[in-house]
Structure 1
Amino acid sequence: MTRRRYELTEKEWEIIAPLLPNKPRGVPRVDDRRVINGILWRFRTGSPWADVPERYGPSTTCYNRFVRWRKAGVWDRIFADISKAFDGDIIMIDSSCVRVHQHGATAKKGGLDDGCMGRSRGGLTTKIHAVVDAECRPIALELTAGQAHDSQMALPMLSAMREGTIVLGDKAYDTNALRIAVSEKKAWANIPAKSNRKASFAFSGWVYRQRNLVERFFSKLKQFRGIATRYDKNPLNFLAAVKIVASRIWIKAL
């Protein structure tokens, strides 16, 4: 059977296979590579789980394994293990909103913010926060409701920052807390100051131009229709999907 362009290549499978659970219980399970290709198909197309083609095994198997491995932290471990090799000289942080489809827009009684969904200029949206390195490879990923301020997730997401790192961000990240945290790490926040700032900070416009790499990462991420639009009700499932696609972006970069 001819490999579809969204399916794992031999090299990709060689990297992912050792990171998967290898102690199945009970009856033999459907081949892991086959199931992961089915999961990728679902998020690549944005189709319902029930429409996953039979060539990837039962659609319920694809969904159940995706959720079971998410609960077991498998997708988190794969992303964390692959991204350890990031280039720490320059890192950049940004966010991007995705529209929540009506299939995923089932807010709880607590309000629209439940489940990382909220009102913004695009309607009901979820915001994906990302930190990437100088090779356009993701280091950290998180979700918030769409109307959340960009700086809200900055400090926890920059925990991987190393001494001497240059941190790039737009004016939304110009906060005293972030600048202090970066300084304490002996790093440099190359962030343009807001217009109402009285203090001045060292800033290089030439270095700042490299921030387009994080925007390129979001462009690659949103080539998957199931990421560009959120269909998942559970934010943990959606974040797991983002990490799966991000892990693949990493492997392709390697």
Structure 2
Amino acid sequence: MSNLYWLTEVQMARLRPYFPKSRGLPRVDDRRILSGIIFINRNVLRWCDAPAAYGPPKTLYNRWKRWSDMGVFARIMTGLAAEAPDNKTISIDATYLKAHRTASSLGLKRGRGRLIGPTKGGMNTKLHAVTDTSGRPIRLFITAGQVSDYTGAMALLSSFPNAEWLLADRGYDADWFREALSERGTRPCIPGRASRKKVVRCDKRRYKRRNRIERMFGRLKDWRRVATRYDRCPRVFLSAIALAATVIFWL
């Protein structure tokens, strides 16, 4: 098939430092297996429907599941992002990812424990992300759909890189968040809520750059496995998001 996805040798050279060490027998060809994993995730195929060029489907699935549980794909994304830091102005935002019935059923009631929750649009998972100046993701975090944006901000705050500015919408307008950013030496560019008694100034010209994180979410959702969650395990789903971010923005 001419439309199969293959990693190049240059890309593999960047990825290999983040692979876990092989024990015992040498691993099956990493380039072939990882290319097959990317192809399956991008097109939302069943593992048994993987093209024969990528080898046995069971080998693809076993590598995907084992490395997802180890957090390898998340480390790859953060590691590649750290190689070329561009953090003068960072952004934070969140988006909803639709949870398919296969992800939220056959387990705990209404998907509890799987980071799936009810919203106006149905059962969703919320993806919280931090991007660099160019709009590339550098930190990812997922919660249930009904969870506040503040929860994601609190979880990601300690991992923020040193930045001069942080862009966010008014959903992140909280005094504790502004104070935490100031302590880190980061100036917030966040519009104030309408309910605020004291007006908060915001650099509107700089705030326009926040559209980069919105475009980043749109590109991630081009991968069908990210736009719709089919995985019951949140760790595996986060690995799928990290893999998509790596391929789209960092390779």
User: Is TM-score (shorter-chain normalized) higher than 0.5?
Assistant: yes
Identify the residue that residue 32 of structure 1 maps to in structure 2.
30
> Which stretch of the first structure deviates more once superposed, 151-160 or 113-122?
151-160
Question: 1:51-200 maps to which residues of 2 (within 5 A)?
Answer: 51-84=49-82, 85-106=84-105, 108-109=107-108, 111-163=110-162, 165-200=164-199
Distance 2:57 2:48 in 1: 6
What RMSD, in angstroms, separates the aligned Cα atoms of the two structures?
1.9
Confirm or deny: 8 A CA contact 2:97 2:124 kept in the other structure.
Answer: yes
Does the 8 Å contact 1:30/1:57 carry over to 2?
A: no
> 1:97–1:126: 8 Å Cα contact kept in structure 2?
yes
TM-score (norm 2): 0.92
Residue-pair matches, total? 250
Provide closer, same or farther for how the CA distance between residues 202 and 233 of structure 1 changes in structure 2, counting only shifts above 3 A: same
Question: Identity, % of aligned pairs?
Answer: 37
Where in structure 2 are there 5+ consecutive unaligned residues?
none
Q: TM-score, normalised by structure 1?
A: 0.91
Which residue does 1:48 correspond to in 2? 46
User: Counterpart of 1:13 in 2: which secondary structure?
Assistant: helix
What does the per-residue CA deviation read over 1:171-216, in whole Å, with 9 as the maximum and x for residues that have no partner?
1101122111101112111000000011222311110000011011
The separation in 2 between residues aligned to 1:163 and 1:80, in whole angstroms, is 15
Task: Answer yes or no: is 1:217 the counterpart of 2:216.
Answer: yes
- Residue aligned with 1:147, SS: coil
Shift of 1:33: 1.0
- Segments of 4+ in structure 1 off by > 4 A? none
* 2:103 partner SS: coil
Stretches of structure 1 that go unaligned for 5 or more consecutive residues are none
In the TM superposition, residue 13 of structure 1 has moved relative to its aligned partner by 1.9
Q: Which residue of 1 aligns with 2:202?
A: 203
Offset at 1:111? 4.5
